[in-house]
Chain A
Amino acid sequence: MTTLLISYLFLQYYWWIIVSLLASLLVFLMFVQGGQSMIYSLPDTDLRRSMIINTLGRKWEFTFTTLVTFGGAFFASFPLFYATSFGGAYWVWIAILFSFIIQAIAYEYRSKPANILGKKTFDLFLFLNGALGPFLIGTVVATFFTGSQYSLNLLFSVKWATPWHGLEALINGRNLALGLAVLFLARVNGLLYIINTVDDGELLEKSVRKLLINSVSFLVFFFFFLVTLLLAAGYAVNSETGKVILEKYKYLHNFLQMPLVLIIFLAGVVGVLYGIAVTIFKNSRKGIWFSGAGTILAVFALFLVTGFNGTSFYPSSYHPPSSLTIHNASSSEFTLKTMMYVSFIIPFVVAYIWYAWRAINKKRITGEEMEGEDGHVY
């Protein structure tokens, strides 16, 4: 019975949904990076910088773990993407990796005595990860829409058509727009998170002021990307022949042909805007909940738009027949099904994360806590 219901096609959709969900969670959790990108500009004293770093530092591992799990899930469910993109767009992925290695140790080491490199270096690491991480990830994800230059041979071995191996993505205006939009969104969420978790009047005031300029920057880049996306042609796959053709207004069609996805997307955008608005106009400190949920919904919908409705999620502009779809890039039916059973544990994982998160965030971060002997202070 189950074999009838759970077809290969269903499993491929199911796993694209999981991957999209992890991606959307990752973008939300990059509020940690967004906050890190402001450790020089936001606080005016070392104590305030420490407060910011400590409130973000209690969450950095979630972002990191989500990135690792996103990588693992993508590998397991769509290994051809892993093989093609990582092996081909080598340099841009290496750059992303670098920006994350330096983050992992920076929190733990920055204020420890005898740390050799000095607090300033570790803070610089945090800043670099904060600025580069979201920007580079956003830029790479943009290539899911704008395409890359590669071809696959009969044995599915990738050949990258430019010697830049991924860095060429950085000279495309639309890619840059999404990269910057993700960066500014991370900064918006970072500010809203700081507003929610730190107890310090001056920091609060400054964060709200900074929120406006970052929100505007985000909206400019985001709408630029969105408008060009809706007007752009996209790589469509004929479900019967498997042929890849360039279709005008492909992504606009996807939104219109999948109204539920459109609704999710719009709800997400509204959520982000509402989160910003209640913070600026009503002095609410709960904006992060709305903008966070909004971020998750909007990114989730964007991923569905790039993978569903006969679309290539990793198109090759150099050799369109090589383009990856959720059907030709996926794992076998057996593997997807086995992993689907494992994925049923995800709600349980989310539940304990939620529980532990609440337990730690019950009290806001204060200046005294930074100087107290009893805590684990970064």
Chain B
Amino acid sequence: MIENVTPALIDWSRAQFALTAIYHWIFVPLTLGLSFIIAMMETIYVRTGNEEWKRLTRFWMTLFGINFAIGVATGIILEFEFGTNWSNYSWFVGDIFGAPLAIEGILAFFLESTFIAVMFFGWNKVDKKFHLASTWLVAIGANLSALWILIANAWMQNPVGMVFNPDTARNEMVNFREVLFNPVAVDKFLHTISSGFLLASLFVLGISSWFLLKKREEWLAKRSILIAAIFGLLSSLLVAFTGDSSARTLAKTQPMKFAAFEALYDGKQDAGLVGLGILKDSEEEEDTKKFKEFLFRIEIPGFLSVMTDGSRDAFVPGINDLVYGNADSTVLPVTEKMKRGKIARDFLNNYKAAKIQNETETAEAIKKVFQKEDFLNEYFRYFGYAFLDKPEDAIPNVAVSFYTFHLMVILGFLFILVCLIALYLVLRDKIEKNRWFLRVAFISIPLAYIASESGWILAEMGRQPWIIQDLMPVSVAVSRISAGSVMTTFILFAVLFTALLVAEVSIMVKQIKTGPKH
């Protein structure tokens, strides 16, 4: 049995994780947002005592339950896959990464699962206020769950608050606050949950529009649209604001991802932001997979520079600058980073050798080097580069990064408009007359999912080859299993998830068609 690290093993392991994450993310954003929408509806019911609002609450709650179960099922696999498929990663960063995961379980999952039981089974068993409180706690619990896993993910994108311990050959946490308030984590959390709120709002808006198109349940549909439009509009603005802030942070923490999603090869001052564009393979370069150029583009002049540093004079490094270096703007070439990474790796190997041979003095001397700030900042921070074969390995898939980014942004702006129009029409009580808009709202449902998945594909594929930015490439993190085994489990998961998704969608459609119970 071949258990060496082969490209096939890395690809199948990545494919399996991507499959699980993408499936998981079909269900989570709806949970994040719909839980709050239900809580708002139930609040109105408890305040007014109007049974119609209870009927409305329960209708959306049924859809929530169908969606929730499958999110839970895919979530547990993600958690365990860190160990099963990325075992070296689990050790290298488990000291930092594990903590948010454990806290998530203790603080958030129990909150969610305890009160979801009350929410579903408690209508006739507990009083109205306890039930309402439970519904709110489910919403808070769901969003708290997202908080902790996003802190963990943000740390992979921008590792902070740790030192490397050569004895254990791993990174160890020294500052929990830095991990929690990692700027990437703050942006990521707000951007992710607000996008979940937006997706759920568009879901409610779209389905309610379908009811209006069918001339059914008009009272309930209009109330749902009102809530969804207000919540959706506020969320969409927050999505835009936090997206902008994420991009600014990204320019500093992951400049390669930043350059890749704009397909910016040669860095410049007064760089424009591409609003729309189509890429083609570059003819000049040999490795056409990695090098692209524009077939056509529409650009907002100077805006990318402004995003980076608040001024049009700001220099935005391109992919070529980041790979081959740029002396003027002090960007280190990847070859230099590889050299420094290898020096850090040699220090670690020499330390291990000295320990085995009981050369205590040598070992102590090397260990002291690992505690020096200069060494950490100038050498160890490039540790992962030691494992790259060639500088171009540091380039992510530019086409995927570019298209997912632009798709997400364009759709994001479209959704602001959809929510705005919905709010205007429902307040003017003209919504059912504008059937074109009802159709647009309905089509927005799949678009919201596409935008949401695009965001994650950009976040994760845009940072390749890193599993932990600059410190560990995926090739080092992967578990030593045969590629065939991972391929087999990939296929098993793919078949099972797809079967469950088909069942889920079918049940959901049936419940929607049946409509709220009387």
B120 at the interface (CB under 8 A from A): yes
Q: Are B91 and A359 in contact (CB under 8 A)?
A: no
Q: Which one, A77, A100, A373, contacts B102 given CB within 8 A?
A: A77
A157 at the interface (CB under 8 A from B): yes
Q: Are A105 and B69 in contact (CB under 8 A)?
A: yes
Q: Are B507 and A353 in contact (CB under 8 A)?
A: no
Interface majority SS (helix, strand, loop, mixed), chain A: helix
Q: Which one, A64, A79, A102, A114, contacts B113 given CB within 8 A?
A: A64
Q: Which one, B65, B70, B480, B503, contacts A115 given CB within 8 A?
A: B503
A163 at the interface (CB under 8 A from B): yes
Q: Are B169 and A154 in contact (CB under 8 A)?
A: yes
A335 at the interface (CB under 8 A from B): yes
Q: Could you tell me which residues of chain B, from 62 to 81, have a CB within 8 Å of some CB in chain A?
A: 65-66, 68-70, 72-77, 79-80
Q: Are B511 and A68 in contact (CB under 8 A)?
A: no
Rounded to whole angstroms, the CA-CA distance of A356 and B88 in the bound complex is 40
Q: Which of B45-53, B171-179, B279-287 contacts A (4 or more CB under 8 A)?
A: B171-179
Cβ–Cβ < 8 Å partners of A342 in chain B: 102-103, 106-107
Cβ–Cβ < 8 Å partners of A75 in chain B: 79, 82-83, 90, 94, 97-98, 101-102
Q: Mark B85-114, 1 if CB is under 8 A from A, else 0.
A: 111101100111111011111110111111
Q: Which of A216-224, A254-262, A343-351 contacts B (4 or more CB under 8 A)?
A: A343-351
Cβ–Cβ < 8 Å partners of A349 in chain B: 106-107, 110-111
Q: Which of B33-41, B122-130, B235-243 contacts A (4 or more CB under 8 A)?
A: B122-130
Q: Are B69 and A79 in contact (CB under 8 A)?
A: no
Q: Are B105 and A68 in contact (CB under 8 A)?
A: yes
Q: Are A93 and B69 in contact (CB under 8 A)?
A: no
Cβ–Cβ < 8 Å partners of A376 in chain B: 65, 120-121, 123
Q: Which of A80-88, A229-237, A281-289 contacts B (4 or more CB under 8 A)?
A: A80-88
Q: Could you tell me which residues of chain A, from 47 to 86, have a CB within 8 Å of some CB in chain B?
A: 58-59, 61-62, 64-65, 67-73, 75-77, 79-80, 82-86
A120 at the interface (CB under 8 A from B): no
Question: Given A75-B82, A98-B492, A113-B510, are A159 and B72 neighbors across the interface (CB < 8 Å)?
Answer: no
Q: Are B106 and A346 in contact (CB under 8 A)?
A: yes
Rounded to whole angstroms, the CA-CA distance of A76 and B102 in the bound complex is 6
Rounded to whole angstroms, the CA-CA distance of A108 and B500 in the bound complex is 12
Q: Are A77 and B507 in contact (CB under 8 A)?
A: no
Cβ–Cβ < 8 Å partners of B106 in chain A: 69, 72-73, 342-343, 345-346, 349
Question: Given A101-B76, A114-B506, A115-B503, are A79 and B115 neighbors across the interface (CB < 8 Å)?
Answer: no
Q: Are A72 and B98 in contact (CB under 8 A)?
A: yes
Rounded to whole angstroms, the CA-CA distance of A339 and B130 in the bound complex is 31
Cβ–Cβ < 8 Å partners of A375 in chain B: 121, 123-124
- How many pairs, one residue from A and one from B, have CB atoms within 8 Å of each other in the complex? 269
Interface majority SS (helix, strand, loop, mixed), chain B: helix
Rounded to whole angstroms, the CA-CA distance of A97 and B82 in the bound complex is 13
A365 smallest CB distance to B (angstroms): 10
A40 at the interface (CB under 8 A from B): no
Cβ–Cβ < 8 Å partners of B72 in chain A: 61, 64, 104
Cβ–Cβ < 8 Å partners of B75 in chain A: 68
Question: Given A86-B80, A360-B118, are A72 and B95 neighbors across the interface (CB < 8 Å)?
Answer: no
A231 smallest CB distance to B (angstroms): 33
Q: Are B496 and A353 in contact (CB under 8 A)?
A: no
Cβ–Cβ < 8 Å partners of B70 in chain A: 104-105
- Chain B CB count within 10 A is highest, among A77, A82, A339, for A82
Rounded to whole angstroms, the CA-CA distance of A334 and B95 in the bound complex is 9
Q: Which one, B74, B84, B95, B352, contacts A86 given CB within 8 A?
A: B84
Rounded to whole angstroms, the CA-CA distance of A280 and B101 in the bound complex is 43
Question: Given A62-B113, A82-B82, are A360 and B76 neighbors across the interface (CB < 8 Å)?
Answer: no
Q: Are B480 and A159 in contact (CB under 8 A)?
A: yes
Chain B minimum-CB-distance residue to A156: B91
Residue contacts A-B, CB under 8 angstroms, 17 given: A65-B109, A68-B105, A72-B101, A72-B102, A73-B105, A75-B102, A76-B103, A88-B87, A93-B84, A100-B76, A105-B504, A115-B507, A154-B169, A154-B352, A345-B107, A349-B110, A360-B121
